[in-house]
């Protein structure tokens, strides 16, 4: 029988790596944290300047943290993505989030065939729906856009469908772009204290959540057909 990698051990290693990265990020942002603890009108100006004065090294740490949290099943990297937008603005923040999410999904896809997938996951109704769509490439791309749908499950569906690397990378790149930008846009809006932009970001997230509800509805309607398959 084929030997599988220990999924629990991989998750523990990922958590340890995340803690190490968080420590280095904390070390870089220690002056800002001290100002937050003693915040006043004068310190606020200094704080806003310091937050956006960080360079490439902190940017790479954030990108790595986004990737690690993306790769851990059940974890959300939304707070990190918002933080990236807050620190670097909507466009650089978007690149950090987007590249981090692509890297995380690529890491999962490279390991997913070597990991023993639980029977519960293999019998998931959502997985059944993902595998039996009329246009699977479009369906999986849309699934990457919806944060509530676990990206690991979408990656597993892609592995089951034996997608080529080119198709997989295209799906991930397109699918992860909207939420990567929305979180960065929202973080920048928080930094600027722009209420209108914060509302726009919230509305965009609500629209994505409604998309998830539509997927659930379609999945429920198509379930009998999938059972037959």
pLDDT in tens, 107-121: 999 888 788 777 777
Q: What pLDDT was estimated at residue 219?
A: 59
Question: Which residues, 6 or more positions from 108, have their beta carbon under 8 angstroms from its beta carbon?
Answer: 70, 71, 151, 152, 155
Q: What pLDDT was estimated at residue 225?
A: 46
Q: 124's torsion region: left (phi>0), alpha (psi -120 to 50) or beta?
A: beta
pLDDT in tens, 135-165: 888 889 888 988 888 888 899 889 888 888 8
Check if the beta carbon of residue 17 is closer than 8 Å to that of residue 68: yes
pTM of structure: 0.83
Q: What pLDDT was estimated at residue 226?
A: 45
Counting as low any pLDDT under 50, the low residues of the chain are 1, 223-229
Q: What pLDDT was estimated at residue 209?
A: 73
């Amino acid at each position: 029988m084929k030997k599988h990698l220990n999924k629990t051990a991989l998750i523990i290693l990922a958590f340890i790596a995340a803690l190490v990265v968080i420590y280095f990020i904390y070390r870089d942002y220690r002056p800002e944290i001290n100002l937050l603890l003693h915040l006043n009108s004068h310190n606020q100006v200094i704080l806003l300047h310091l937050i956006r004065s960080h360079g490439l090294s902190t940017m790479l740490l954030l990108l790595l943290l986004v990737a690690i949290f993306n790769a851990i099943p059940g974890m959300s990297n939304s707070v990190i993505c918002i933080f990236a937008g807050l620190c670097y603005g909507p466009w650089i923040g978007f690149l950090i989030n987007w590249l981090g999410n692509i890297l995380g999904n690529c890491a999962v896809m490279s390991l997913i065939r070597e990991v023993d997938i639980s029977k519960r996951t293999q019998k998931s109704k959502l997985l059944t729906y993902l595998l039996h769509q009329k246009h699977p490439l479009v369906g999986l791309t849309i699934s990457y856009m919806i944060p509530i749908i676990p990206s690991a499950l979408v990656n597993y569906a892609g592995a089951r469908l034996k997608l080529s690397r080119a198709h997989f990378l295209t799906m991930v790149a397109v699918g992860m772009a909207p939420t990567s930008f929305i979180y960065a846009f929202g973080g920048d809006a928080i930094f600027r204290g722009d209420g209108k932009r914060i509302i726009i970001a919230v509305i965009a997230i609500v629209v994505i959540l409604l998309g998830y509800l539509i997927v659930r509805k379609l999945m429920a309607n198509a379930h009998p057909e999938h059972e037959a398959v």
